Structure 1
Amino acid sequence: MSQPTSNGTAPSKIALKLGNLPSKKPLKIIGPRTPSRVTPNQPPWPSYRGYHEYSFAHATMGHRLPTILGKAIDDVVKTLNEQHEEEKIVDLEACIQRMEALMGDLTSKADLRPIVDDGEGDIPLWNKALARYFRGQNFINAPWVFAEAYKYRRLHECFSISKYWQDYDVFFRQKCDTFSRSDKAVFELSMRFHEPFKHREGLSDTEKLEAERLVFHELTQVCLWGNATDLSLLINMSEEDIKKLQSTGGEHLAATEKNILGNHIGRLWEIVRDLRGNTGGRVDFVLDNAGFELYCDCVYADFLIQSGLAKTIHFHGKRFAWFVSDVTRKDWDWLLNMMVYGDLFKNASDAELESLRRLGKRWKQYVAEGKWIYEQHPFWCTGYTFFTLPEEAPDLFLHLSRSDLVLFKGDLNHRKLTYDCHAPASTPFEESIGPMASTAGAPKICSLRTIKSDVVVGLESDEVAENLDKEKPGWKISGEYAVILVSEGRPAEEVFFA
């Protein structure tokens, strides 16, 4: 600290002359860390954190999350004003007070405290991670993926310790409303696929396989671009913007295929094509967004069943409201029942509504027959990335190892697969997902991801990303670009836990 001079004034600052030192040079990222040095707070390459002003993490922690939480508080206030029983009103008011305390912690960069034990199965995972890796860290200096997940877990805590509102979903109204505005894309698909898939008569086996490949190619892209409508990013988006994002027409898909920067769709087809010869024929979807994206996932899964390419589909959702629009059991049940019994689309024709009902009835039949299975595991709602899945959730890893193909949908799942860190864009996908590719028993994996955050891997060269940085600033968060990346895993090997 500078000492005052004899006349009481502070001395002038001395300029430090460093003329003999080497000139400043850009820091080249060296990585990855060796596996033994990787921790949730120190990923293989440098992590994105809220204080990195160049990153989407900075915009998220400083603006998006407070905005999302503010809208969530507004939703609960609306529900509060609809109540008439005093005990429920008082209980919900306490939930609002906890949400406001969370807002204070978020905006004041408070340290990450332990999660209150609310009986959820993820409590040991959360509090072990907080104690072991994140003591003294806050929303801004902790790795973005962990800090963001922590915020949503704290939001669930606001309700899970209440008496009457444990399962309240502050985002449910938004999810329903957005799907209701997706009518054009919804009916474009239902009018095509309400009838069971079947081949034209007279086709040879080779021609049948090619016909399946073409439909698969188109539906893979529908499933991919359905991820573009993420409610956490649609805060100020108009109805026309949403409809443009959700276009599933053939011309639109052909035009956007050039924006799939890492495209392993050929390898993905080879895996799916060979499912028929497997005794199981099981495909798993690790779900992302509810509403239109879930609807696209189901159209895709329906084709896999109808064509005989797969025998069973497992859908993995979240146990509670997560990252605004992630699928919960309530969202799953709502979609299937709304399709059969609902009256959501006021301007639809009778033919359109009937096509939607037929789809919904067939999907509900799949559920009844055990061909479609909805599941939820506590691990999906933790701050851990999937690098730790074999260690922290061995039961889930063993379960996934029995699948012939695991499709990870969306941006958050991609971030967790790749540890959400600053790896070079040319890093091979299988290298970037670490143990999920290299552990004995690791299943074949495909990430279907519309790019909406900083991490990008699996491209042919770093120059592809560097050129886009110059030509289209903001391309990493625009939702205009995507990847379809495949890992072959080690499915033939027996799972072994040390």
Structure 2
Amino acid sequence: MADANALVPEPSCVIDIKPPMHTFLSARYKQSFAYTTMRTRLPAILLKTIEDIIKEIEDTVVKYGEDIRKDVITLTDKILKLKFNIENDDVLETFSGNEQDKMLWNDFLKTLTNDSNTFFKACWLYAECYVYRRLYSYVENHAILRSYDYFFQNKRNAFIISLDSMLQILQDLAAMGTHISDNNFKQLLKLNLWGNRCDLSISSGKEVKVGGNPFELVKSLDANIIVDQSAQIMQCLESAERNSSVIVEFICDNAGYELFTDLILADYLIESKLANKVRFNFKAMPWFISDATVNDFRWSLQFMKDHTSHALQEYGKKWQQFVMENKFQVASLDYFWTSPYEYYRMAEIDPNLYKRLSDAHLVIFKGDLNYRKLISDFSWDFTESFTACLRGFRPANICSLRTVKADLICGLKKGQADALEKENKNWMTTGDYGTIQFASK
């Protein structure tokens, strides 16, 4: 097999321009983050995944038995082949195994035309999601490895290296109290927003650690929130009808530190009686390296409960109790979250999920991928309203918390993007800027 680290010639479809306005983003446009993703980021992520799997092979053998060793090597060969498929701009092939969402994906793939069904020609969102779905199909179709999460150690380590920051947050929370105030809510909302910076898919699997005092960091980054509709979100929560259960849905993003900040915000919503129930939606499979699964959620609470720190123990116990009391609820797994579909198509593709979200008072979408699915991987005018870009997707009041790591955005003021461009031409992909956006039902 060819040298895994060798850079193959770029596909012939690539053109050296920015994505034209009002077109879908794709890797065919060389001056785009989609191109960077397909050309270098995803191949690097797949090589790092192979490296991690081989590094853990002895632990895997202990867990599954010696006979699994050969199968693990076969798995790494398949991942390497996927890397070459990307680099050669191969066709996105349909699935033919025991994937539970096979029809969902295959029906979608069959709608792609010859000009949009390869890794570089397809809409970036579709192609990137396909890579992670194809990756999981290799273990999902194995009789023994079906439960194997090849990203788990990354996520576990991401949680552990953030413990100092978590302890600092709990210490500061004790002083803050749980009374309702605009300032307290906004601080926790922004803490949750900036928790989204810890994204292993952006760092290609390298550890991302929060430094310093988290609340001090939040204050220092206020000027970097380029759309801030937190006041409208607070108003939305305060105006909820209290004669029925007030449900807030979290469409979660990363495990580790970000999931911890999700739980901190959710705890405040319950304790301040802004919500009666918070429901967490997790991915049904390992996804974009650091995305949270149900197992990551349960592991995090148990790790906290078993920790030597009294504060972590108490919150671990408290949140496990919240689960038992149904104040915190884990949503049933839904493969729509790991599908290629944008959210404006949810009502048609997954009407039951759309109906469930419609029962909530507020749905909080976390992170960059959820943002891309909310407004589509589309080259919008930067000043287009968030509501317009949702294309009618309004099952409930919607909040999006996103650190900007992809070259698409909406809801900016006139001239704001030009000013940011002058400051840093890569402002859309660094994660240094954030948006808090809201759309009422």
TM-score, normalised relative to structure 2: 0.90
Structure 1 letter corresponding to 2:76: I
How far apart, CA to CA, are the structure 1 residues paired with 2:293 and 2:19? 42
- The yes-or-no answer on 1:454 pairing with 2:407 is yes
User: 8 Å contact 1:282–1:311 — kept in the other structure?
Assistant: yes
How far apart, CA to CA, are the structure 2 residues paired with 1:340 and 1:113? 44
Deviations 1:124-143 (A, max 9, x none): 11100111124562111101
Deviations 1:314-370 (A, max 9, x none): 100000100110010111111000000146xxxxxxxxx111111111100000011
Q: What SS does the aligned partner of 1:228 have?
A: coil
User: 8 Å contact 2:205–2:289 — kept in the other structure?
Assistant: no
How far apart, CA to CA, are the structure 2 residues paired with 1:278 and 1:261? 36
How far apart, CA to CA, are the structure 1 residues paired with 2:99 and 2:204? 32
State the Cα distance separating 1:196 from its structure 2 match.
Answer: 10
How far apart, CA to CA, are the structure 2 residues paired with 1:238 and 1:164? 29
What does residue 368 of structure 1 align with?
Answer: 324
Give the gaps of 5 or more residues in structure 1: 1-25, 31-44, 200-208, 344-352, 490-498
User: 8 Å contact 2:18–2:30 — kept in the other structure?
Assistant: no
State the Cα distance separating 1:100 from its structure 2 match.
Answer: 2.0
How far apart, CA to CA, are the structure 1 residues paired with 2:92 and 2:160? 37
Query: What is the correspondence of 1:228-307 to structure 2 with a 5 Å cutoff?
Result: 228-235=197-204, 242-244=209-211, 247-249=213-215, 251-275=216-240, 277-307=242-272
What does residue 11 of structure 2 align with?
Answer: none
Structure 1 letter corresponding to 2:93: R
Deviations 1:188-231 (A, max 9, x none): 112233699455xxxxxxxxx5xx22210110100110001101
1:29–1:237 Cα change, 3 Å: closer
Q: What SS does the aligned partner of 1:243 have?
A: coil
1:53 aligned residue (30, 34, 38): 30
What does residue 79 of structure 1 align with?
Answer: 56
Q: What SS does the aligned partner of 1:89 have?
A: helix
- The yes-or-no answer on 1:443 pairing with 2:416 is no
2:144 aligned residue (151, 156, 164): 164
1:276–1:298 Cα change, 3 Å: farther
Give the gaps of 5 or more residues in structure 2: 1-16
2:299 aligned residue (334, 339, 342): 334
State the Cα distance separating 1:115 from its structure 2 match.
Answer: 1.7
1:221 aligned residue (175, 185, 190): 190
Q: Which moved more, 1:361-370 or 1:75-84?
A: 75-84
Give me the identity figure in percent. Answer: 30
Q: What SS does the aligned partner of 2:239 have?
A: helix
Deviations 1:56-94 (A, max 9, x none): 111111111011111111122123344263422233233
User: 8 Å contact 2:386–2:410 — kept in the other structure?
Assistant: yes
What does residue 112 of structure 1 align with?
Answer: 92
How far apart, CA to CA, are the structure 1 residues paired with 2:113 and 2:255? 31
- The yes-or-no answer on 1:132 pairing with 2:111 is yes
What does residue 435 of structure 2 align with?
Answer: 483
How far apart, CA to CA, are the structure 1 residues paired with 2:317 and 2:124? 41
Structure 2 letter corresponding to 1:426: T
User: 8 Å contact 1:276–1:308 — kept in the other structure?
Assistant: no
User: 8 Å contact 1:280–1:404 — kept in the other structure?
Assistant: no
User: 8 Å contact 2:228–2:437 — kept in the other structure?
Assistant: yes
1:296–1:138 Cα change, 3 Å: same
Structure 2 letter corresponding to 1:476: M
What does residue 424 of structure 1 align with?
Answer: 381
Structure 2 letter corresponding to 1:73: I
How far apart, CA to CA, are the structure 2 residues paired with 1:135 and 1:380? 26
How far apart, CA to CA, are the structure 2 residues paired with 1:369 and 1:306? 13
Aligned residue pair count = 420
1:194–1:156 Cα change, 3 Å: farther
State the Cα distance separating 1:247 from its structure 2 match.
Answer: 4.5
Point out the structure with max Rg over C-alpha.
Answer: 1
Taking only aligned residues, the RMSD between alpha carbons, in angstroms, comes to: 2.1
Structure 2 letter corresponding to 1:277: R
TM-score, normalised relative to structure 1: 0.80
What does residue 13 of structure 2 align with?
Answer: none
Structure 2 letter corresponding to 1:232: S
How far apart, CA to CA, are the structure 1 residues paired with 2:171 and 2:154? 26
What does residue 102 of structure 2 align with?
Answer: 123
